[in-house]
Amino acid sequence: MRTEALLRDLQCTPSCGPGLRHRVVLCKSADHRSTLPPAHCPPAAKPPATMRCNLRRCPPARWVAGEWGECGVGQQQRSVRCTSHTGQASHECTEALRPPTTQQCEAKCDSPPPGDGPEECKDVNKVAYCPLVLKFQFCSRAYFRQMCCKTCQGH
């Protein structure tokens, strides 16, 4: 009697990085015709049923950026996350390569103030705070855009 490993090994799991390969080990008769209970073969002669394997290196984790959101207050945002090759969250991305999560943008006027064409755009009553409205990026808000039309033009 002798212990014999089934000829066909199963695949290495996972498909990249360190993993394990499993196989079925049977106790066979000397003529290989019949399978015997494991007690009929010496345990010390039993080949391993599990072996370490490593098919290839796994792809590195990478930054995945979402779509840019609406432009509000002169900025728009998006989600950026570090993802492993399996799509799971990871902490292995290089921080220096992280794409930006915010960017400057120009808010488009919804519509010009009633009665005013683009060529007639002006700051209402020469409001003194219009430079501050621009500085703090409030031009995307309808009220400030109307009051400070000329200052906010193009922003």
pLDDT digits (tens, 9 = 90+) for 36-86: 998 889 988 888 989 998 888 889 999 999 999 988 778 899 999 999 988
Q: Tell me, rounded to whole angstroms, the distance of Cα 20 from its chain centroid.
A: 27
Residues 46 and 13 in one domain: yes
Band (pLDDT 50/70/90 cuts) for residue 121 is confident
DSSP 44: G
For residue 110, being part of any structural domain is answered with no
Distance CA 150, CA 44 (A): 89
For residue 146, being part of any structural domain is answered with yes
Q: Where are the beta strands (DSSP E) in 71-142?
A: 75-77, 80-83, 102-104
For residue 45, being part of any structural domain is answered with yes
Q: Which domain holds residue 126?
A: 118-152
Band (pLDDT 50/70/90 cuts) for residue 99 is very high
Structure pTM? 0.45
Distance CA 100, CA 84 (A): 19
